[in-house]
Amino acid sequence: MKKTDRDAVIDAALTLFRMNGYHNTSMADISASCGLLKGSIYHYFPGKKELAIAALDRVIAETREKLFRPALDSSVPAEVRLANLAERVERYFIGREGGCVMGNLALEVGDAIPEFQARIRTYFTDWKEALATLLATKHGRARAEEMAEDIVARVQGAIMIMGVNKDERPLRRASRETVQLLAPADAAATASA
């Protein structure tokens, strides 16, 4: 039961960071959102930065578990795993207010806070690795990594546009076209027909 409060702080902080950004989220905001008094947060975390780091670490763990690890389960055909990964990513971000906290912080703090930068890089690397492993079953490893990086970029951009235009179709197209990269017989013809 002890970890519940700590987790509640991380939960609140994570949501606020995602929706309002890091610098625009105050300890008072987090306090009001998690039920704990402002000063009490410092019982669990040395400061705001370390709290954010814990939040980012949680995102990394969660996405590894729920999104990227299933993609490496070799008992399932690669094309199915790719379809599952694409669909999970799509569902993960659609309707999630504030989009992707990793992408948001990547553009907000840039490399000003190395601990953030390192975690953001890890997150993107995980994502790219999962995609590259799957794509390498059909395309070469080198080309697969390029394609994986491009997919991650496109999805992140689609999430950005989703926030700006309230339109989730770019994200859906990114998912659909990703799946087709392992479709048999170079299914571009099937798609355009």
Partner DNA sequence: CTGTTACCCAAACGATCGTTAGGTTTATCC
Partner DNA sequence: GGATAAACCTAACGATCGTTTGGGTAACAG
Residues that bind a second copy (CB under 8 A): 19-21, 23-24, 98-99, 103-104, 106-112, 117, 120-121, 124, 146, 149-150, 152-158, 160-161, 163-165, 169-170, 173-174
> Rounded to the nearest whole angstrom, what is the least distance from the CB of residue 146 to a second copy in the complex?
7
Closest CA to 20 of 109, 98, 120: 98
> Rounded to the nearest whole angstrom, what is the least distance from the CB of residue 100 to a second copy in the complex?
8
Rounded to whole angstroms, how far apart are CA atoms 46 and 50? 6
> Considering only residues 40, 125, 165, 190, which one is a binding residue for DNA as defined by CB under 7 A?
40
> Rounded to the nearest whole angstrom, what is the least distance from the CB of residue 167 to a second copy in the complex?
8
> Rounded to the nearest whole angstrom, what is the least distance from the CB of residue 180 to DNA in the complex?
44
Contact assessment for residue 10 and residue 36, using Cβ atoms and an 8 Å cutoff: no
Q: Going residue by residue from 42 to 81, which x/- string records binding to DNA, judged by CB under 7 A?
A: xxx-xxxx--------------------------------
> Rounded to the nearest whole angstrom, what is the least distance from the CB of residue 132 to DNA in the complex?
37
Q: What is the 3-state secondary structure (H, E, C) of the chain?
A: CHHHHHHHHHHHHHHHHHHHCCCCCCHHHHHHHHCCCHHHHHHCCCCHHHHHHHHHHHHHHHHHHHHHHHHHCCCCCHHHHHHHHHHHHHHHHCCCCCCCHHHHHHHHHCCCCHHHHHHHHHHHHHHHHHHHHHHCCCCCHHHHHHHHHHHHHHHHHHHHHHHHHCCCHHHHHHHHHHHHHHCCCCCHHHHHC
Q: Going residue by residue from 13 to 32, which x/- string records binding to DNA, judged by CB under 7 A?
A: ------------xxxxx---
86 binds, among DNA, a second copy, none (CB under 5 to 8 A by kind): none
* # residues contacting DNA (CB under 7 A): 22
> Which is closer to DNA, CB of 39 or CB of 114?
39
Position 110 contacts DNA (CB under 7 A): no
Rounded to whole angstroms, how far apart are CA atoms 93 and 101? 10
Binding residues (CB under 7 A) for DNA: these are 1-2, 5, 25-29, 35-44, 46-49
